[in-house]
Structure 1
Amino acid sequence: MAFFGFKDIDKLSEVDMAIYRYIVDHDEQVPYMRVRDLATGAHASNSSVMRFIHKIGYSSFPEFKVSFQTENQDLKNSNDDILTMFTRDAFPNDIEKTIKLVAHLMLDADNIIFIGMGASGAIAEYASRQAASLGFNCYAMKDPYYPLVQQLHNTSNNVLVTLSVSGKTIELVEMLNNFVNSADTVLTSITGNIESPIARIGRYALSYNVEETRIHKYYDLTSQVPAVYLVDGLLKELHNQDVARRIN
């Protein structure tokens, strides 16, 4: 039986839930408590504690304590690095300077297009929405076969920001190749591979280092947290430059 994995929470009474929450909040002390200690802490009776213990599947209080201590320790060991997925070392030393340069390009752009596929496409939509909230004309593009060249044919001063973890997505590379020699469109990227084609064909690349993770060969589980971090940093700098320009 698993305490933290107990699924029939809806079958617990109000008193049971008070005991349950007390155990969760005092996980380090519970293995050393007696029934009366737990009952006092949870403001319940000894009999209520024992009914709770039986209800969640244990035949005795000692059995519960041994099982709980093991389960709690395993849970703590498995959670050691959940919030340390990346550090400042994941970014180049000059990343702040590059962010300022890309934001400066976006500041005076007539059109800002965030491009991405899959999970990167979702981040492109997020970036576009946030930039639009700041008052900039922008939109997201998740379809690499969309006739973007024709749409931007009679426009100028465009900035394309492509998001790609690998920087090698063939469909995106082919799409961006249409703008390589365009005087009206500047290519930039946010990528996990500074040596990739998408990073190389753009004027600036906001890059990061993160371990690539795939399952079943095709499914990419690589963390997108660094990409979102860069997007937020870019939009913050864009807003700061816009405010400074208005003041001056």
Structure 2
Amino acid sequence: MAFFGFKELDRLSEVDMAIYRFFTENVEKVPYMRVRDIATEAHVSNSSVMRFIHKLGYDSFPEFKVSFRSEQRRSQTNDHEISFITAENFPPDIYEKIELIADKMEQSDQIIFCGIGSSGALAEYAARQTAAVGFNSFCVKDPFYPLITQLKNTSNNLLITFSVSGKTIELIEMLNNFVNDEDVTLVAVTADPSSQLALMSRYVLCYSTSQERLAKYYDLTTQVPAMYLIEQLISTARRLAVEQDHESI
């Protein structure tokens, strides 16, 4: 019988309830305690603890501890997976925006994905996947790359930039070259819709996530929401391209 989610509380005596509450309030340390330690801290007898263990359906205390620890780990893993990314990570109109930008991708002559650090890795992945489904795309991870020179005398470019904060100075300076360029449409993928990156872009795909840093310099913020947006963009753009091909037949 599982301990977590035990529903037959009406079968428990006052002493059993005291032990049950102790377990639920000390889930981290119970697997490492002895029967007498639990009895002492729960203010019950050793025999009361063992009767409670047997009432839960376990033959021995070691069997209970193994099961308790296993349940605890599964519970923590499931909670993490469920909350890792949900609809709450995105604004209500996110799919309308994805459809709009995917349509721009399908119409563009060239798609440039840009980012630095972990966002640069995302940009590289996006460029590779986009090229794999038939779009003309490449990635820029160096903010000092002479992109303005490369895009000179070109038109109908879509520049998609990834940045969690939307405040990376080097990216902002590079994109400033294209703010008023009619041949380059700027798209921001960021967790901050009020950031400078978002404000200077024509289209914004935003998401919410807790930003985490280690020693102020190492960004440990999850990129799963941004990765989800990449997959949705590519899938939608591919669908639109197929629909366009069917219409032209």
Q: State the TM-score bracket (shorter-chain normalisation).
A: 0.7 to 0.9
1:73-117 deviation line (CA, Å, top 9, x unaligned):
442353242212121121111111111111111112111000011
**Residues 62-71 or 127-136, more deviating:** 62-71
Amino acid at match of 1:216: A
Give the structure 2 partner of residue 199 of structure 1: 198
CA distance in 1, matches of 2:74, 2:161: 38
TM-fit CA distance, 1:67? 5.3
- Picking from 74, 77, 81, the partner of 1:76 is 74
Alpha-carbon deviations, 1:22-80, whole Å to 9, x = none?
xxxxxxxxx9777xxxxxxxxxxxxxxxxxxxxxxxxxxx7854653453244235324
Taking the aligned partners of 1:240 and 1:168, their CA distance within structure 2 comes to 33
Q: Percent identity?
A: 45
Runs of at least 5 residues in structure 2 that lack an aligned partner in the other structure: 1-55
Instruction: State how far apart, in whole Å, the 1-side matches of 2:133 and 2:142 are.
Output: 25
- Corresponding residue for residue 111 of structure 1: 110
CA distance in 2, matches of 1:195, 1:182: 22
Written as runs of structure 1 = structure 2, the 5 A alignment for 1:1-248 is 65=63, 68-69=66-67, 71-84=69-82, 85-248=84-247
Summarize deviations over 1:92-151 as a string: whole Å, max 9, x none. Answer: 111111111111111121110000111111111111111101111101110000000001
Q: State the TM-score, normalized to the length of structure 1.
A: 0.72
Corresponding residue number in structure 2 for 1:23: none
Q: Select between 80-89 and 232-241 the one with higher mean Cα deviation.
A: 80-89
C-alpha spacing 1:71/1:154, structure 2 compared with 1 (3 Å): same
Alpha-carbon shift at residue 219 of structure 1 (Å) = 1.2
In structure 2, distance between residues paired with 1:70 and 1:171: 51
* CA RMSD, Structure 1 to Structure 2 (Å): 1.8
SS at match of 2:126: helix
Q: Assess if the C-alpha contact under 8 Å between 2:58 and 2:64 holds in 1.
A: no
In the TM superposition, what whole-angstrom CA distance separates every residue of 1:187-235 from its partner, at most 9, and x where no partner exists?
A: 0011111111111111100000111111211111111100000010011
Which consecutive residues of structure 1, in runs of 5 or more, have no partner in the other structure?
1-30, 35-61
**How far apart, CA to CA, are the structure 2 residues paired with 1:79 and 1:112?**
38
Cα distance in structure 1, aligned partners of 2:110 and 2:203: 17
The whole-number CA distance in structure 1 between the counterparts of 2:214 and 2:76 is: 20
- Mapped partners of 1:234, 1:110: distance in 2: 17
Distance in 2 of aligned mates of 1:106 and 1:221: 30
CA distance in 2, matches of 1:162, 1:72: 43
Q: Which AA in structure 2 matches 1:110?
A: D
Aligned-partner Cα distance in 2 for 1:233–1:69:
40
**Match of 1:82, as an amino acid?**
H
Structure 1 residue runs of 4 or more that deviate by more than 4 Å after TM superposition: 31-34
Give 1 or 2: higher helix fraction.
2
Match of residue 39 from structure 1: none
Deviation at 1:183, TM superposition (A): 1.1
Query: How many residues of Structure 1 are paired with residues of Structure 2 in the alignment?
Result: 191
Q: Note closer, same or farther for the CA distance 1:77–1:216 as it changes in structure 2 (3 Å cut).
A: farther
TM-score of the pair, normalised by structure 2: 0.72
Residue aligned with 1:114, SS = strand
SS in 2 for 1:162: strand
Secondary structure of 2:153's counterpart equals: coil
Q: Tell me how far apart the structure 1 counterparts of residues 151 and 166 of structure 2 sit (CA, whole Å).
A: 23
